[in-house]
Amino acid sequence: MSAIAGDPRLIADRPGLAGTLEGVWRRVSQGEIGSLPVVAALILIAIVFQSLNPNFLTPRNLTNLVLQIAAMGTISVGVVLVLLLGEIDLSVGAVSGLCAAVMAVLNVKAGLPGALAVGVGVLAGAGIGFLQGVWITRFRVPSFVVTLAGLLGWQGLLLWVLGDTGTVNLTDPAITNLAGIFLGPRLGWFVGLAAVAVFLASLSRARRRRVAAGLGVGTTGALVARIVLVGGGILLAIAVLDAGRGVPLAMLILLGFVVAFDWVTTRTGWGRHVFAVGGNAEAARRAGVAVDRVRVLVFTLSATLAACGGILAASRLLAVNQSSGSGDVVLNAIAAAVIGGTSLFGGRGTIWSALLGALVIGSISNGMDLLALASSVKFMITGGVLLAAVTIDAVSRRGRQAAGRA
């Protein structure tokens, strides 16, 4: 450990596996729960649905699950960014629908090439987010209100863009392939092994630098556990998906966003500033952080990711219609971020919570579909899960305060 001078009150983890486990338990009981509850919830959900319907854990159904959560997870990545600031973006659903509609109309009605239409759709999202971000920072209107107005306004614009026909069907492979193609086994394994190799290389490089600088490193047990969990997880996922239709491109797109934004938020100065603004905006301002610029960029990214999610959803549905991005899209995206462990109170969370939370919501919804449950039951159960997740957040926040860590 990098203790400056041995403080006798400092509790250090004892060496060895038992010490590591002890440390984990102590942190959990003090409210530093990280993604533990959500992983436990995922395992529980899998056990319950698998015992009720043996089709749940089949490669075919898991592939479906991945495709179902790609759009929600992508939108949720942007929501996590906004929540880290301690703000909220209620417009992500409407923006996702509008940008998908912009893409569809440009491609189908105006004859723009698919890739270009996708690009314009994403840019439209960026523009909308920039506008909302500037409005929030310039006029000091709460983000809740600006994005609530956005929720209504952008949905209206969606109807206007779609025009009288109401539904635009997509056939351009450049668009439909996004959620429609799968990597063959060879390419899938190549991507998976490359990811594991990059993960190992970055871990060992970071460790070597710390050792060379004379700084403390974590225990070997924790390192091995991380490598086994992450590496094993990647390879297992590929093996399962290959037994189905292969690795979906949509999953790689979602994972790409998650990994990229996780890196940006935890490894760059800008990401550090996002956490600082979420933790104490006034302190960040006095430390010289361009607080308003951070806020505007976060809202821009949130709407941009919403556009990407909307386009993925359209690609999977092969159409954009008047209900695109409406209904529970925004609520699911926010719920996913919170269920995954990102705090609604700002400054605490990780991008990975978008993926984990989307997996929880997606697997509950998928499992209930397999059981052919009525919509009424589905809504109530999803609501209950969200309430449970927020309660865990609030209670663990209190636990952290009691342990002096809030």
Partner 1 sequence: MARPDRTPLLELRGIRKRFGAVQALYDVDFEVYAGEVVGLVGDNGAGKSSLIKAVAGIYATDSGEVHFEGRQVTIGGPNDTARLGISTVYQDLALCDNLDVVANLFLGREVVRPVIPGLVAALDEVTMEQRAIQVLRDLSVQIPSVRTPIASLSGGQRQSVAVARSVMWNSKVVLLDEPTAALGVAQTRQVLDLIKRLRAQGLGVVVISHNLADVFEVCDRIVVLRLGRRAGNFDARAASREQIVAAITGAEFGTPAPAGAA
List contacts with partner 1 (CB under 8 A). 1-5, 7, 9-10, 209-210, 213-215, 267-269, 272-273, 275-276, 278-280, 282-284, 286-289, 347-348, 400, 403-406
Q: Minimum Å distance from CB 267 to partner 1?
A: 5
Closer CB to partner 1, 5 or 374, in the complex: 5
Closer CB to partner 1, 32 or 328, in the complex: 32
Cα→Cα distances 176→96, 173, 258, Å: 16, 5, 22
Residues 6+ apart with CB under 8 A from 21: none
Closer CB to partner 1, 2 or 51, in the complex: 2
Letter string b/e over residues 280-319, b meaning 16 or more CB atoms within 10 A of that residue's CB = ebeebeeeebebbebbbbbbbbbbbbbbbbbbbbbbbbeb
Closer CB to partner 1, 218 or 221, in the complex: 218
Query: Cβ-count burial of 5 within 10 angstroms (0-12 exposed, 13-18 middle, 19+ buried)?
Result: exposed
Q: Minimum Å distance from CB 167 to partner 1?
A: 41
Q: Minimum Å distance from CB 401 to partner 1?
A: 8
Within 10 Å of residue 57's Cβ, how many Cβ atoms?
A: 15
Q: Minimum Å distance from CB 349 to partner 1?
A: 10
Q: Minimum Å distance from CB 86 to partner 1?
A: 10
Closer CB to partner 1, 180 or 399, in the complex: 399
Give residue 367's identity as a one-letter amino acid code.
G
Nearest to 358 by CA among 327, 380, 389: 389
Closer CB to partner 1, 378 or 400, in the complex: 400
Q: Minimum Å distance from CB 234 to partner 1?
A: 23
Cα→Cα distances 262→77, 252, 257, 266, 350, Å: 9, 15, 8, 6, 7
